[in-house]
């Protein structure tokens, strides 16, 4: 995120905790039993925080269900596991990625780092955590779409530069697909639109249903690339 798009990141992810039992109950969008799914169904995991989870939205308005609908409309047979946990950091994602990648998962969308920025976590720590996630995916032969973050300038130019290098450098190093910003589809010339209330919830942190739809206009084609890589 750039400019005014980053004003929300300082409060980003300050939400209720999530128990292990809740994590085990990750929401699955689509057909849920192997006996019911066709052999050509592509199985994806969306690993992230509240943006992935769909915080503050009705179940069918969140990122995962809207993404699945977008893909289905374009002829893709896909099942997406919602691995979004509100308030999660890159460390949280690393701690649960291995057991979240159940045997049928073929691809993973990774959207983590906003809460690291909120807490001012050392970029080297965030980098190591994201790299750990990519190493687990590589070991399990899971293709990845890595979605990046733009750091605010409040922590200084060095922090900003170090943090922003994490995603493109790791994407190149591990050969993953890459999108620079979750909010790319919402931004106008790199900034949040003047009528931000039309696309964001009242907390100024999370997109509303329309905002999610715009997010998916940018994320969706990248997920199609991920599916093509899996099927290729």
- Strands 177-179 and 143-147, by their bridges, are parallel
- In the three-class reduction of DSSP (H, G, I as helix; E, B as strand; rest coil), residue 180 is classed as coil
SS3 state at 74:
coil
**Interatomic CA distance for residues 62 and 29, integer angstroms:** 11
Q: Taken in order 178, 182, 183, 185, is the CA torsion positive or negative?
A: positive
Task: Kindly list the catalytic residues.
Answer: 50, 203, 206
Closest CA relative to residue 173, chosen from 197, 200, 144, 212: 144
The length of the chain is 232
Residue 66: count of CB within 10 angstroms of its CB: 21
Calpha distance 148→44 (Å, rounded): 18
Nearby residues of 138 by Cβ (< 8 Å), 6 or more positions away: 174
Q: Which two tokens stand for residue 38?
A: 């066709």
């Amino acid at each position: 995120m750039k400019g005014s798009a980053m004003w929300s990141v300082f409060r980003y992810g300050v939400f209720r905790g999530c128990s292990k039992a809740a994590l085990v109950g990750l929401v699955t969008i689509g057909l849920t039993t192997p006996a019911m799914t066709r052999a050509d169904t592509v199985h994806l995991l969306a690993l992230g925080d509240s943006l992935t989870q769909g915080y503050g939205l009705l179940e069918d308005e969140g990122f995962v269900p809207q993404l699945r609908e977008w893909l289905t409309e374009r002829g893709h047979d896909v099942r997406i596991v919602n691995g979004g946990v509100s308030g999660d950091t890159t460390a949280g994602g690393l701690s649960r990625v291995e057991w979240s990648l159940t045997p049928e998962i073929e691809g993973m969308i990774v959207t983590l780092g906003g809460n690291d920025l909120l807490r001012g976590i050392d970029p080297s720590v965030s980098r190591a955590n994201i790299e750990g996630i990519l190493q687990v995916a590589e070991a399990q032969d899971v293709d990845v779409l890595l979605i990046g973050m733009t750091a605010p300038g409040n922590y200084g130019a060095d922090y900003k530069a170090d943090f922003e290098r994490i995603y493109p450098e790791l994407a190149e190093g591990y050969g993953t697909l890459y999108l620079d910003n979750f909010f790319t589809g919402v931004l106008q010339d790199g900034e949040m639109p003047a009528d931000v209330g039309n696309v964001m919830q009242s907390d100024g942190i999370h997109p509303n249903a329309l905002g999610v739809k715009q997010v998916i206009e940018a994320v969706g084609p990248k997920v199609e690339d991920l599916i093509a890589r899996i099927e290729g």
